[in-house]
A and B are shown apart, each in its own frame.
Chain A
């Protein structure tokens, strides 16, 4: 019996946007009902669909998720200590259970030409600023449609031409106080005008050991010569589910530098879909994931070179231990006229146990004849020579293993721009490896 999206996820559709008055926007309502219709018409993906071949929706469907409640639980001082990274200087935006919390956000004075704020607030106050950019995603995932139909709130970042913000914007997603399984659906929109420069650190944190789901959608549009650093740190609770659908559009000469760190959640899926709309743009996607007992980390990359002279790098590394599982499904498509495209994709995995599993599938589809494209993948174990070298210096076997794992992860961690964040991630990775069964 086939099951429809709308049956499996009926509750997800029920969320209404968090607008305070009833000023309905016709265009938005039209988009949301179209998305709803789409969900009603879509079958639930099964393992027969290539994009879902290694990832089962069963565990997600088994949960009876209801939409995250509008009432935002109060946080204690202890909780805030767990969340904030004290030395990290940032323009901070906090979302709790998918909703913008002004009291915990600290944006400071923003320079002229920079807008950072709640999506719902902007829809209410200046909907035209959103309208032409909203829901332009090229991702055909049912979860994007679910998010469009049922998003709670989110953050809009708008940079006018040549606007520059020195400090990173820190977007913290907190999940808390969910007594029964709830789904939060944040929706973000980032638009950088020509020559604008910004950096976003996106963090996902679960405060309690609860079952919940985050279904985030991020749409990014970079103007000509814009530079955007985007660092994402997924540290959801151990019982949580996490979905990200990220869509990126890059105009000529723009640069996107993305680092995706996946450490948390029981089940997580990240879809990164990028395209170039102008020449000489550069897209750099780096990733690091750790998966231990009972964890699934699933990454789908879809990089399209439809325009000549663009550059893309896709470099993901994974450490798997216990019965951890990961999926890397990366595709680079070079269209017929996209000459001088330069793309390199790699996925390297370190397996620390017999029971761990990775399904890795980098693919290049090249339809142009003058391109430089490569892909490679490795699945290996710790090198006994390296272990012996460390142990011969008096370092215990467990510490030696951890040092080598951190060395392996270091290549990606070092891509993080802020030293504070590099230290923080190194610490987090180290802690997980310390408690991991390394055999």
Chain B
């Protein structure tokens, strides 16, 4: 589904990603872990098409298409979804209007008919239940005045609605207390399917207690320095990033 090969990316003159290789097959969950400044968020942003990054070498292919040549909306229309670490507040933009515009933009790009107000509302109420979200959310402006937990739940709610093929969860656990974390993780787990892949980007192992990954990659200084199964996350938790960093230096 996603193949990343030799990916290098800069912010300004500074090289952040220094040659990444990994591949995600349908249905797989990959965790990308690493200390602050490792390049985790840069990777999420480069894959989703945010401005401000220059890819200097390497490729990222999504379902056979050159992802890096596409506009952010085209990537989303193909089935890529980024759950933001810091969801953006859009005062004055009504949530329902936003969700409908997003869903119908994606449907239209695939040659599907746009949903009318009634079917859209039916669908959206169904999805709200997955995240234990209240109807009142629909009347509010997107993320405006939301608590940290509400913002993260709103991200997963959008994911539930847009049904992406590949979701990148960028530090979805940051700023969540344990109860909110569980709700978000339950929402994510409810969306797991043999066709849907996920990349879970996180600093802490904690999230992975709730969202169990198939693979764990450790990112440090712009490179994947170790890959393994979910037990790698536990080992990291125990020994800290210093352990792997030291090993990386030694190797």
Contacts and interface: CB of A to CB of B under 8 A. Distances in A.
A binds B: yes
Contacts of B105: 393-396, 399
Tell which of B103, B105, B158 has the most Cβ of chain A within 10 Å. Answer: B105
Interface string B102-115: 11011001000000
Main secondary structure of the interface of A (DSSP, over half): helix
A395 B158 CA distance: 13
A289 B89 CA distance: 24
B92 A395 contact: no
B157 to A, nearest CB: 12
Contacts of B73: 391-397, 400
A170 to B, nearest CB: 26
B102 A384 contact: no
A411 B141 CA distance: 11
Contacts of A411: 91-92
Given A406-B92, A406-B93, A390 B162 contact: no
A386 interface: yes
Interface in B76-90: 76-77, 81-82, 84, 87-88, 90
B244 to A, nearest CB: 31
B101 A389 contact: no
Interface residues of A, number: 23
A57 B77 CA distance: 51
Interface in A390-429: 390-397, 399-400, 403-404, 406-411
Contact of A393 (B51, B97, B158): B158
A62 interface: no
A407 B93 contact: yes
Nearest to A399: B101
Nearest to B78: A394
A393 B104 CA distance: 10
A56 to B, nearest CB: 33
B50 A394 contact: no
Which of A389, A399, A409 has the most C-beta atoms of chain B within 10 angstroms of its own C-beta? A389
A177 B175 CA distance: 64
A385 interface: yes
B82 A407 contact: no
A389 B91 contact: no
B49 to A, nearest CB: 7
A403 B101 contact: yes
B51 A389 contact: no
A403 B93 CA distance: 7
Nearest to B45: A388
A411 B158 CA distance: 24
A404 B90 contact: yes
B76 A391 contact: yes
B84 A394 contact: no
Given A393-B102, A394-B73, A399-B105, A404 B88 contact: no
Given A403-B93, A404-B90, A408-B92, A394 B98 contact: no
Contact of B49 (A386, A392, A395, A408): A392
B197 interface: no
B201 to A, nearest CB: 15
A330 to B, nearest CB: 22
B148 interface: no
A396 to B, nearest CB: 5
A406 B101 CA distance: 14
Contacts of A394: 73, 76-77, 102-103, 105-106, 109, 162
B88 A389 contact: yes
B77 A390 contact: no
Contacts of B103: 394
A145 to B, nearest CB: 41
Given A392-B76, A394-B102, A394-B105, A386 B48 contact: no
B72 interface: yes
Contacts of B75: 392
B63 interface: no
B247 interface: no
Contacts of A409: 92
A393 B76 contact: yes
Contacts of B84: 389, 392
11 contacts: A388-B51, A388-B88, A389-B84, A392-B73, A393-B102, A394-B73, A395-B105, A399-B101, A403-B90, A409-B92, A411-B92
Given A394-B162, A406-B92, 12 more contacts: A386-B88, A388-B51, A388-B88, A390-B98, A390-B102, A392-B49, A393-B73, A395-B105, A399-B101, A403-B90, A407-B93, A409-B92
